[in-house]
Amino acid sequence: MTKANLPDTLALDQLAVGVRAHISDIDWSILAVGDALRLKNFGFDEGVAIEALHLGPFGRDPLAVKVGRMTVAIRRAHAAAVRVVPLAA
């Protein structure tokens, strides 16, 4: 089973607005080195709490997400590398 097919997970770009989740895995290999470093600097790591806050107006890009206590904007292509486990409401 690949990481993309882990049960009960979905890509961050598929997380509905207002839903809280925890990061279960990040596929660093599909990100450019600079993009991976940027996400790491923003606090993206396994186990971190995350919430989708807002979708951009054109093609739903960029996404505004809350990572820990910080709000950041990331591209959908980068969010697709982040697997999350939604939390029950």
Q: Which whole number is the average pLDDT over 31-54?
A: 94
Nearest-angstrom CA–CA distance, 17 and 34: 27
The overall average pLDDT reported for the chain is: 89
- All domains of the chain in start order, with CATH: 3-86 (2.30.30.90)
Residues 12-40 pLDDT 10s: 999 999 999 999 999 999 999 999 999 99
CB neighbours of 27 closer than 8 A, spacing ≥ 6? 3, 4, 81, 83
Residue 3 is predicted with a pLDDT of 53
pTM of the model: 0.85
Residue 51 is predicted with a pLDDT of 96
Residue 88 is predicted with a pLDDT of 76
